[in-house]
Amino acid sequence: MRKTVLIAAMLLTTAFALAQQLERCTLDGFSQTVKNVLIPGYDKACGMVSSPSFDYMSSIMLYPEKRELVYRKAKDNYTGQLAEDQIPVETSTMVITDKQNSALTALFDALIASSREKEEPKPGEFVSVGLDGETYHFFKDGKAGKCWSPGEGDNRAKLVFLFREISRYVRNHRPLSDELIEQVQDLTKKFSM
């Protein structure tokens, strides 16, 4: 009996952890304008692009070779814009330490490695569809994973909050705190399971 309960608990824990992984995707859905303006050099970087329903897109990028974090936010509605230079973009840059660079790179490796294919709903299963919210794309080495408006307490929500905090630090030109790097390391473990 005890063994059965333990196995059931392990299966539930594993199922819950899998439900909190990113959905595997590609960056093909982004227009060339987005790639040029918000994520230039994306082939040499890893990062997160935030695409909200009622605000402008933003990105936080890590260029590991330079140990550089770059935050970008479109300051205008760029849909329909033809030339990249017509889109005003807020940009902030910050150099980070080797330890911070290694920790963030390891997190992106874990995120991409743990991304899973989208599961199709089973017949009769309740499917929640959101009309407004925010989609977050995480990418590295040409691979990507995404999530849409993750729920509170979900590891993906913690991930989004972490990158929003990192963006805030970069925008305010403040060095990343030890607490943020501890959160990075903790999430790396959670997404490596």
pLDDT, block means (10 residues), the chain with 193 residues: 42 44 84 79 91 86 97 73 66 97 98 85 58 85 90 91 97 96 97 89
Give residue 126's pLDDT: 57
Closest CA to 138 of 115, 166, 117: 115
**In whole angstroms, what is the distance from residue 5 CA to residue 171 CA?**
49
Q: Would 181 be classed as within a structural domain?
A: yes
Beta strands in 16-155 (DSSP E): 23-25, 46-52, 58-63, 68-74, 89-95, 134-140, 143-148
Q: Would 176 be classed as within a structural domain?
A: yes
Structural domain for 183, as ranges: 22-118+127-192
pTM of the model: 0.81
Q: Would 84 be classed as within a structural domain?
A: yes
Q: How many domains, in total, are found in the chain?
A: 1
Give residue 10's pLDDT: 37
Q: Would 134 be classed as within a structural domain?
A: yes
Q: Would 11 be classed as within a structural domain?
A: no
Write the pLDDT tens digit of every residue in 152-185: 889 999 999 999 999 999 999 999 999 999 999 9
Give residue 82's pLDDT: 45
Q: Would 105 be classed as within a structural domain?
A: yes
Pair of tokens at residue 37 = 């303006």
Pair of tokens at residue 178 = 């030890």
